[in-house]
Structure 1
Amino acid sequence: MTSDSMRLASYDRYGPADVLHEVTGPLPRVRPGEVLIRVRALSVNGGELAMRAGRLRPFSGNRFPKQVGLDVVGDVVDPGASRFAVGDLVWGIGGMPLSTAAEYAAIRPDRLGLVPDGLDAVQAAALPAGTTAITALRDKAALAPGERLLVRGATGGVGYVAVQLGKAMGAHVTGLASAPNLDLVRELGADEAIDYRHPGELGQFDVILDTVGTDLAAFRRLLAPDGRMVAISFDLDHPVRSLGYIAANSVRRTRWARFFSGDPKTPLFAELGRWVSAGAIRPQVDRVFPLSDIAGAHRALERGGVRGKVVIEI
């Protein structure tokens, strides 16, 4: 490897996790208005698995090789004209095309924030997806103190933050997860931890945060008269039906269901940092993999039952 090259994760065809490999490639081209970051850690996100498997071809196309990596934690190497300084530890979202599973990444400064004191890079890498939980509960659902919140996938990358955030916002939180993970749901602060395979009678909820994407109609029926469902995932096996259902119910004034995909900017990362610094949200790392085992990291998330975030340390 030369001074103008770096290690990165790449694949040259769609397929299972084994198509992923660590390779050597050129350093990212830093465009005007971007910040160059020496990447220290990142997490694996569900959308990346679907893209790598070829299940999102209308969005990803058929040009190869492709890289992976959406979020990022690292040290600023070249701040450009941004407000950041060399050596700042920052976190953020890289956007499309995916490229942050690499030694270096070039990111727009408005997609970055300073990592709060007290977090190391691996811990911080478990949290950028928490911006999705903030947007879903605060902005989209307008969760209020005393309301009943149901989180599907309560120990997943977004769900585990949503459980903590819901409690901090004063809600009564019910978390659905697999039986082996119910202990973690309780540790995160949920008032109720329920096995999603045997939920029994769940009752009604003011807000449902859906991170799973299936059976949306059944869960929407659990909404109270003024209830709101926010979905951050859709059924990849039936995408037209899934998104069509959400679209049809998004225009309702009551008991609505809406889908959104996060696009966090610096103020949202600053807010996430404040929740973390206040002790309301803590990171939850499931497992840590090196970049050389990027395939193993993807397999770990695909197996399901994760307890927080699968992190790659570089």
Structure 2
Amino acid sequence: MRAALYDRYGPPEVLYEGTVAKPDPGPGEVLVRVRASSVNGGEPAARAGRLRLLTGLMGRGFPRGVGLDFAGEVAALGSPMRALAVGDRVWGGGRAVWSAAAEYVVVRPRHLAHAPAGIDLVEAATLPGVGTTAITALRDKARLREGERLLVRGASGGVGSVAVQLGRAYGAHVTGLARAANLDFVRELGAHDAFDYRTIRPAELGRFDVVLDTVGSGMEAYRRLLAPGGRMVAIAFDLDRAVRSLAHILVSGVYGPRRVRFFSGNPGHELFAELTRLVESGAVRPVLDTAYPLADIAEAHRALESGGVRGKVVVRT
């Protein structure tokens, strides 16, 4: 089968469309015909070798695949399952999936759910990873409540674009930070206010009950914006200043409830099913920037690294 691969660390050009053996599902496993997968924020760093300690510990040699989430159809079942049948539209992902940018992927049922009805699978592929991350950040980590003030850094990006919609659905007053060219787009997603992060100083923004940081740099300036009882959730940190960023997250524990909460998502069936419900209810919609064919996997990574993406870049298979 066709798959996106790379044989060495490096820039996007190391990626190529290659051929690997089609996997067979074992007992309790599901073979999915992938229609599209998304390019997630940490993948370019892993491809470039900036996360080689982590990937090295996992024992993954070359060639390596890419892609952590997907949308497609059930192609085969390793054993009978009451909730799934061949032909079902599904989506899923997580750390158990490292090569979703391929024609087929084998997953456990706990790492997928039925995809929303009435949505194209290529568009659906924009949501599994970022959507479940936004749910975890706002619902589970921050416990965002109706009427609270939410600030989203990186509001036009993958997680940010979902978080703006989700915050609005949860009844919060949403403020988004993005590039000047994306401010109208952020407002269209549901933000009450949107500001250019390059021209407004954090101190000018006011107080917030919840800050969602998808950027990772300068976290202390935004943590200071928390109102009493406020919560800050970070889903990224500055790799160029990794020690400093991680130290700040750890030291922030002295602030008690106003500490910085950091997590690395590994969603399961419940989260994917909740995301399906939110999409079918109209609370969240996919935001597709560009869909690239598998042969253009390098271009897909290059587009994400350019920093100008609205929503998500996906790879069609």
The normalised TM-score by structure 1 is 0.96
Pairing 1:269-284 to 2, within 5 Å after superposition: 269-284=272-287
**Structure 1 residue aligned with 2:68, among 67, 70, 74?**
70
After superposition, the CA RMSD in angstroms is 1.2
Is there any run of 5+ residues in structure 2 with no aligned partner, and where?
none
Between the aligned partners of 1:237 and 1:167, the Cα distance in structure 2 is: 33
Q: Is the 8 A contact 1:247 1:258 kept in 2?
A: no
The question of 1:43 aligning with 2:41 is answered no
Match in the other structure for 2:188: 187
Match in the other structure for 2:111: 111
Between the aligned partners of 1:253 and 1:246, the Cα distance in structure 2 is: 12
Q: Is the 8 A contact 1:160 1:308 kept in 2?
A: yes
- Deviations 1:78-104, CA, capped at 9 Å, x for gaps: 123332100001000142461111100
Which deviates further from its counterpart, 74-83 or 164-173? 74-83
The question of 1:59 aligning with 2:54 is answered yes
**Structure 1 residue aligned with 2:259, among 251, 256, 260?**
256
Residue type of the partner of 2:112?
L
Q: Is the 8 A contact 1:206 1:224 kept in 2?
A: yes
Between the aligned partners of 1:135 and 1:47, the Cα distance in structure 2 is: 18
Residue type of the partner of 2:188?
E
Between the aligned partners of 2:94 and 2:138, the Cα distance in structure 1 is: 23
> Equivalent residue of 1:77, what SS?
strand
Which deviates further from its counterpart, 93-102 or 252-261? 93-102
Match in the other structure for 2:302: 299
Q: How many residues align?
A: 309
Which deviates further from its counterpart, 88-97 or 275-284? 88-97
Match in the other structure for 1:3: none
> Equivalent residue of 2:67, what SS?
coil
Which deviates further from its counterpart, 280-289 or 197-206? 197-206
Match in the other structure for 1:124: 124
Shift of 1:229: 0.4
Q: Identity over the aligned pairs, expressed in percent?
A: 64
Which deviates further from its counterpart, 16-25 or 95-104? 95-104
The normalised TM-score by structure 2 is 0.95
Between the aligned partners of 1:198 and 1:145, the Cα distance in structure 2 is: 29
Shift of 1:47: 0.6
Match in the other structure for 2:99: 99
Shift of 1:301: 0.2
> Equivalent residue of 2:256, what SS?
coil
- Deviations 1:93-133, CA, capped at 9 Å, x for gaps: 14246111110000111010101111111111011120110
Is there any run of 5+ residues in structure 1 with no aligned partner, and where?
1-5
> Which has more helix, going by share of residues?
2
Q: Is the 8 A contact 1:72 1:94 kept in 2?
A: no
Shift of 1:222: 0.9
Q: Is the 8 A contact 2:94 2:265 kept in 1?
A: no
Pairing 1:151-300 to 2, within 5 Å after superposition: 151-200=152-201, 201-250=204-253, 252-300=255-303
Between the aligned partners of 1:66 and 1:89, the Cα distance in structure 2 is: 27
Which deviates further from its counterpart, 88-97 or 19-28? 88-97
Match in the other structure for 2:22: 27
Q: Is the 8 A contact 2:94 2:267 kept in 1?
A: no
Shift of 1:31: 3.3
Between the aligned partners of 1:94 and 1:166, the Cα distance in structure 2 is: 23
